[in-house]
Chain A
């Protein structure tokens, strides 16, 4: 009936599909590079860029240092580091790419727990050596994953008792309403049970909430001795400002999230963070505890525009050295062999202290400390203590613990597996 129009439409569509083919066709270049390669997937844009960028910078710094000092096993390490843009689905795709196409020998990836969980099926399927470096809720027991950040138990375990001793035992918990926040809240409850503290209020707040006036009124109503805050992300930071506006700086806050990651004490004017006590393994203000080294200076020399050298970045940094050491010892980049060496337990000299990797659980024994911000947001460190991954090592599985040297596992334990919370 209308052959003219019909035919021209077809021409175009045909051409269009053909184009799609040819573009898709040019992507065939599979196969990794011959030399050793590491993958870095850290967010430099999107929601988590504030924390992700310094993680990326520190990882690069460590690898570049190793390369400058002659590389590993005589080879220079190549870096593949696309920007996953804080998007979990992009993470999945890029993880596949780094493993299958670039064939990375080790992978550093992801800020949030959700990202870790998003790529975990891929990591497990390919048995990829993977360092997850964010401080996190804890409990991951997985063959090829090394969660080297401090866990909630380590962080909260140092700061909560300290505050209870200093200020009293009535605690108000506010935490982000998702896995990390809820499990962190559980850990505070566990600590309260063990030490006889009172949880007088407990509140979980959606991640996109920015208005804390009702939360603040409820806290005022309960009048706790101190607050435990496991708020997360840029939206939640507003709590600290609103706390200052309402003149509540005299109620101390214990936290595992503020300051050491998003450097709120620098980005906010005093007194927003005054009287905030963070349980941390590292902060820029700690400097470098190693002899004759200056991590902070090196970092800013390499990245003059960097905002802050945060706790996670240090984890990335030392875990690169941890891996390099294991490669040297294994005398190969073969992941299975490297993991075997790592599982023997490794000592590493980190800016935050002499640390030990617990081979059985793949977690670190960290030097934990309490970082306190004063009226001028000056940071001081107290209550230094070495804390190991006791939950995974001694408590789960009815006390048998998680021992990845003995058995294969790809699981995550939560406090309620052991405690009544």
Chain B
């Protein structure tokens, strides 16, 4: 039933604080869920429908190591490493045949997703024990919010985007990678090992998926082989709403979507929050067919021309 939450929260300083923390929570989640997918889509023209399962590999890597007695931060590193290695293997065997075959890449990676999630079930069973969320909570008025989810993860998310920005604009690797993506022929002529660039970019995308998995391993609740879908829809929607530019796109789409998601959930309940997220995506696609960054690029070009 579409039912407004029994008693909407009264607007007050503490409840606005709660809204802010909910927004941050959602913001961090969408960025982290999206960024790996966005790199692979934005830079390589491959839509990885197994993205959720890549994240899940990060979750499993982290959880299995943690349950074997390794401290959580180290276990997270293990999760990232495992996913990165897996990503490289997938790139070499599957994805390299699919560059710029966008639709084919969707179908093939969908198949891959089925395989991964079922293999996780066969090998590791129905579920792994969960990991408690660290860091506790911050209280204000009658409310409290998880420090890990609402403060730590959003900070990490923004830091990841910042790091990517530096990597792709300020380092030699970044320049080469972007040159490769833009025009592989020319890049090769200029002596760039484009093959290596593709592997590296895909590895970075996978590592980011692994990082997301590692970070959410203790915030996901149950760890079962079908949890990959938890991440996929939000990531998908955010990538498309964001448009082709990876960093700005992810950032802006995450901000827009989480504003609607958080305020919807806050005032009307989680159902409305979810519906708003999807409906905003549809409207955004209709109004900005090339995503937010497509629109921004147009606008920038006009501005630049004026100057």
* A-to-B contact residues, CB < 8 Å: 45-47, 49-50, 53, 177, 182, 199-206, 208-218, 220-223, 234-235, 237-242, 244-248, 262, 264, 266-269, 272, 305, 307
Contacts and interface: CB of A to CB of B under 8 A. Distances in A.
A208 B221 CA distance: 13
Contact of A203 (B6, B26, B226): B6
B150 interface: yes
B7 A206 contact: no
A266 B270 CA distance: 28
Interface in B1-60: 1, 3, 5-7, 9-10, 15, 18, 21-22, 25-26, 29
Contact of A217 (B9, B130, B131, B148): B9
B229 interface: yes
B1 A269 contact: no
A53 B230 contact: no
Q: Which 5 A-B pairs have the closest CB atoms?
A: A238-B221, A214-B265, A234-B222, A217-B18, A245-B133
Contacts of A234: 127, 221-222, 224, 226-227
Contact of B127 (A50, A201, A248): A50
A217 B222 contact: no
Nearest to B146: A245
B62 to A, nearest CB: 15
B130 A205 contact: no
Interface stretch (B137-145, B166-174, B238-246, B249-257): B137-145
B226 A46 contact: yes
Contact of A205 (B25, B126, B220, B271): B271
B150 A49 contact: no
Contacts of B139: 247
A262 B222 contact: yes
B137 A211 contact: no
A354 to B, nearest CB: 32
Nearest to A271: B132
A236 B29 CA distance: 17
A200 to B, nearest CB: 7
Nearest to A270: B132
A245 B145 CA distance: 8
Interface in B102-125: 118, 121, 125
A54 to B, nearest CB: 9
Given A234-B226, A240-B221, A267-B222, A209 B143 contact: no
A212 B3 CA distance: 17
A204 B1 contact: yes
Contacts of A210: 220-221, 230
Contacts, number: 161
B269 interface: yes
Given A45-B118, A200-B6, A215 B226 contact: no
Contacts of B15: 217, 221
B143 A244 contact: no
A210 B229 CA distance: 11
B150 A214 contact: no
A248 B137 CA distance: 10
Contacts of A50: 126-127, 222, 224
Specify which of A202, A211, A212, A272 lies most central, judged by the most chain B CB atoms within 10 Å of its CB: A211
Contacts of A214: 18, 22, 262, 265-266, 269-270, 273
A208 B22 contact: no
A206 B2 CA distance: 11
Contacts of A222: 6-7
Contacts of B227: 234-235
B71 interface: no
A231 B205 CA distance: 34
12 contacts: A49-B126, A177-B271, A201-B5, A206-B270, A208-B229, A208-B274, A210-B230, A217-B22, A218-B7, A242-B146, A245-B133, A245-B137
Given A177-B1, A217-B18, A223-B142, 7 more contacts: A205-B269, A205-B271, A210-B220, A218-B5, A245-B148, A305-B125, A307-B127
A214 to B, nearest CB: 4
Interface in B162-184: none
B73 interface: no
A286 to B, nearest CB: 21
A235 B221 contact: yes
Contacts of B1: 177, 182, 204
A246 B222 contact: no
A209 B26 CA distance: 12
Contacts of B133: 241-242, 244-245
Contacts of A269: 129-132
Given A205-B270, A213-B145, A221-B9, A241 B221 contact: yes
B130 A213 contact: no
Most buried by B among A47, A49, A199, A213: A213
A45 B144 contact: no
Contacts of A268: 129-130, 132, 221
Nearest to B148: A245
A336 B29 CA distance: 55
B132 A45 contact: no
Given A182-B1, A209-B274, A235 B146 contact: no
Contacts of B7: 200-201, 218, 221-222
Contacts of B5: 201, 203, 218
A237 B271 contact: no
B17 to A, nearest CB: 9
Contacts of A200: 6-7
A213 B137 contact: no
A248 B133 CA distance: 14
B289 interface: no
Contacts of B222: 50, 234-235, 237-238, 262, 264, 267
A216 B29 CA distance: 17
